[in-house]
Structure 1
């Protein structure tokens, strides 16, 4: 290989490396962008912006680390355009750079070791250029393989479970990647040094670094990965605790309503005993021809009986009180409410589990109906048995758009006390899975439908 061809190879090598880094960043960010229809366009924009910034920094001969800082800051500032949360964009930028730096250090160590094991013995310039070009090609390929594999591992871990990123969490998770980037930048600055006109390599001066540097790079990478894993585990534990707390609160509320229902039936029995006396009083007033008093007496009696309105009977006191409560709310809000629900008599289901399902589904439906014009509000509840399965279906009107989270559930629009909201449907799905069932959500013509299937255990 001639010197001219080797120079051309060097230019091509530099471009291939930048192409690899730009495309890797674009592909790494894409799975976390919320607007799926425009992901490829946004990925292409990231790719082009990266190459442009790389060219600018190269032209300006910017100091080491300037490009890293610039890309990370611009990525964070432009998070809204990319449909990324700003803390997530910042974290993804740090993880990208840490992976690139650490994989590069490992590849450089392997390249130096290969040079020592297979030195270039030829003195002919053409042979030296050719062997150098081959080694650089192997260096780029090995770096690309490690870099893409390590990025993919980060991407898969982050996609497996949503990671809450408050200020404290982002500071905690960013410590190890930031330290890894700083370590890599320091080592990269020490790899080559010119002294008395002679080029000295770090690994030649300190051979122990050939093994120490890649080990430290792997430790930084593993530290970042385990930090994310630990934080996800903590978030999962907090979600379980919050879900358990909500379920206990709902169970307590249902028990209280059952107690009220028991009092209701007690008052009905008491009224039956009192009714003979009321009829005697009415008969006396009629005999005395006190018709105005009769009308007033009946009016007062009607008022006293207005509270005895448990009109829907499902076959279970738990579901009775929940459905009748929601029926009264629907009447107050002007929502057309249709019910065709009968509690399964098989005895294979815990009534409180069925009650929690109904309470969450109907409450979410009522909140959705509030945002719809009163003339369009409707809510239907159906419960039917199909073989060994029991199906619960709720349909309701809704307006606007519903955004779904990575867990496949609608995202809550409530900002206040956000950690406690959005748990209801998670509890419903958990109860469905408890009975070897599932939950299905569908949207069609401004109608939200959710179906829960539970199986006899």
Structure 2
């Protein structure tokens, strides 16, 4: 019967390695540019672990699984050389996710061994014991699958900005909690090994509650890591929001400067008329024409300002039109601010800054670039549409279907997230369509009278 025990044991261990490799592929996929090659992450992990599993000399488990995580990191780096710091963090998370999954999944397995496999009426019947062992290992593999699926899904949901460029300082901050968990992992491993060497028994066999304590610690450790990731995302969002607030302050300053120029021009208009009148009376026709030309040029500068019905959106659209025209991008604007509604100008500015920033960035790479923005009402729905052409491959988030920004810095990756956040504040949402070489972003806000 020993051969059956050995076969079941080997199949179980290899299956667990395969399940882990599969989820590591799924876990890393959203973070990679070349996502179709994410299977290499799981394959490299599986291959490395399989080789180490069949090495005759027994190796320390901590080193074995560290080697597996290293193989996963190297494959991620091979697929995409960028964002090395983020890949280091992901590899550490993979290492700890394996350990936490093992600690939780082993609990029901230990219970089944205690209550069924090692029961006296089962041990007396070797064939039945082997069958019970096989069923127990199937339950263990299923438990491993479910726990690993749950843990990776939670981190995937919390880690919202997967295309960010993590700095070394941010990596150090993000690794603080996992490293504390890692220290606990090595401490538990040391105690396990020391007890086994001194007593010639596994501590779990002598103290069954030990497995429960370890599983509880691992669960708390995972929650701590999840909170750390969520807090980090919150810090990044706050930093991005502070950048937007600074942009807003700059826009307000530009509004004040614009209206100051207009007031100054109106104030000087009487003097301009008097000067032209004197030049005409003195028969200085050429000077009068030149003076009128300069005055017309100054008036044209003020007339170039976009009029939307709100000074804040006026300045934002004017600024983006100037930026677009400076880059040779055709800028078409039919935007009207929804006056008399409960919509806040700051919220609209968040939408415009992020949407137009992405549109100008994408269109600037085309041979005949254009950006078009329009807004309209459909009953209580206020809709903003931004259209632009683009070239090359457009990266989109698989879950949301929304495009991913290529910007760097604190604003990186939060553009669409911030737009959706504003839209949902007004019980609306956003939609993104692209076909051939045109992208269309639609933002719907449900408005009420102010």
TM-score category, normalised to shorter length: 0.7 to 0.9
Inter-CA distance 256–454: structure 2 relative to 1 (3 Å threshold):
same
For residue 13 of structure 1, report the CA deviation from its aligned partner: 0.9
Q: Deviations over 1:360-387 (max 9, x none)?
A: 32222222333334xx111111111122
**Other-structure match for 2:83:** none
Higher Rg of the two aligned structures: 1
For residue 158 of structure 1, report the CA deviation from its aligned partner: 0.6
For residue 353 of structure 1, report the CA deviation from its aligned partner: 2.3
For residue 91 of structure 1, report the CA deviation from its aligned partner: 1.6
Is the 1:95–1:177 contact (alpha carbons within 8 Å) kept by the matching residues of 2? Answer: no
Inter-CA distance 65–76: structure 2 relative to 1 (3 Å threshold):
same
Number of aligned residues: 430
**Other-structure match for 1:392:** 384
User: What is the CA RMSD across the aligned residues, in angstroms?
Assistant: 3.2
Is 1:146 matched with 2:147?
no
Is the 2:397–2:403 contact (alpha carbons within 8 Å) kept by the matching residues of 1? Answer: yes
Alignment of 1:36-185 (within 5 A): 36-40=35-39, 43-44=42-43, 46-55=45-54, 57=55, 59-63=56-60, 65-81=62-78, 85-101=87-103, 103-104=105-106, 107-108=109-110, 111-112=113-114, 114=116, 118-120=119-121, 127-162=124-159, 166-180=171-185, 183-184=188-189
Inter-CA distance 16–280: structure 2 relative to 1 (3 Å threshold):
same
Inter-CA distance 419–359: structure 2 relative to 1 (3 Å threshold):
closer
For residue 277 of structure 1, report the CA deviation from its aligned partner: 1.1
Say which SS state the counterpart of residue 307 (structure 1) adopts.
helix
Say which SS state the counterpart of residue 79 (structure 1) adopts.
helix
Say which SS state the counterpart of residue 443 (structure 2) adopts.
strand
Inter-CA distance 262–103: structure 2 relative to 1 (3 Å threshold):
same
Is the 2:41–2:75 contact (alpha carbons within 8 Å) kept by the matching residues of 1? Answer: no
Say which SS state the counterpart of residue 303 (structure 2) adopts.
coil
Q: Deviations over 1:274-299 (max 9, x none)?
A: 3431341232133xxx3333334334
For residue 436 of structure 1, report the CA deviation from its aligned partner: 0.9
Is the 2:428–2:446 contact (alpha carbons within 8 Å) kept by the matching residues of 1? Answer: yes
Inter-CA distance 49–421: structure 2 relative to 1 (3 Å threshold):
closer
Is the 2:174–2:232 contact (alpha carbons within 8 Å) kept by the matching residues of 1? Answer: no
Distance 2:58 2:447 in 1: 70
Inter-CA distance 182–14: structure 2 relative to 1 (3 Å threshold):
farther
Is 1:431 matched with 2:433?
no
Is the 1:79–1:89 contact (alpha carbons within 8 Å) kept by the matching residues of 2? Answer: no
In the alignment, which of 4, 8, 16 is matched to residue 11 of structure 2?
16
Distance 2:122 2:385 in 1: 78
**Other-structure match for 2:328:** 334
In the alignment, which of 247, 267, 270 is matched to residue 264 of structure 2?
267
**Other-structure match for 1:238:** 235
In the alignment, which of 24, 27, 34 is matched to residue 29 of structure 1?
24
Inter-CA distance 191–149: structure 2 relative to 1 (3 Å threshold):
farther
Is the 2:310–2:337 contact (alpha carbons within 8 Å) kept by the matching residues of 1? Answer: yes
Inter-CA distance 438–448: structure 2 relative to 1 (3 Å threshold):
same
Say which SS state the counterpart of residue 436 (structure 1) adopts.
coil
For residue 454 of structure 1, report the CA deviation from its aligned partner: 0.9
**Other-structure match for 2:447:** 456
TM-score (norm 2): 0.83
Alignment of 1:193-212 (within 5 A): 202=203, 206=206, 209-211=207-209
Say which SS state the counterpart of residue 342 (structure 1) adopts.
coil
Distance 2:286 2:142 in 1: 96
In the alignment, which of 398, 401, 406 is matched to residue 413 of structure 1?
406
Inter-CA distance 107–403: structure 2 relative to 1 (3 Å threshold):
same
Say which SS state the counterpart of residue 78 (structure 1) adopts.
helix
Inter-CA distance 270–8: structure 2 relative to 1 (3 Å threshold):
same
Is 1:252 matched with 2:249?
yes
Distance 1:191 1:129 in 2: 27
Is 1:350 matched with 2:344?
yes
Distance 2:337 2:2 in 1: 80
TM-score (norm 1): 0.82
Is 1:312 matched with 2:301?
no
**Other-structure match for 2:315:** 321
Say which SS state the counterpart of residue 342 (structure 2) adopts.
coil
Distance 2:189 2:134 in 1: 22
Distance 2:336 2:327 in 1: 25
For residue 96 of structure 1, report the CA deviation from its aligned partner: 0.8
**Please, which runs of 5 or more residues in structure 1 have no aligned partner?**
1-5
Distance 2:62 2:341 in 1: 67
Is the 1:362–1:394 contact (alpha carbons within 8 Å) kept by the matching residues of 2? Answer: yes
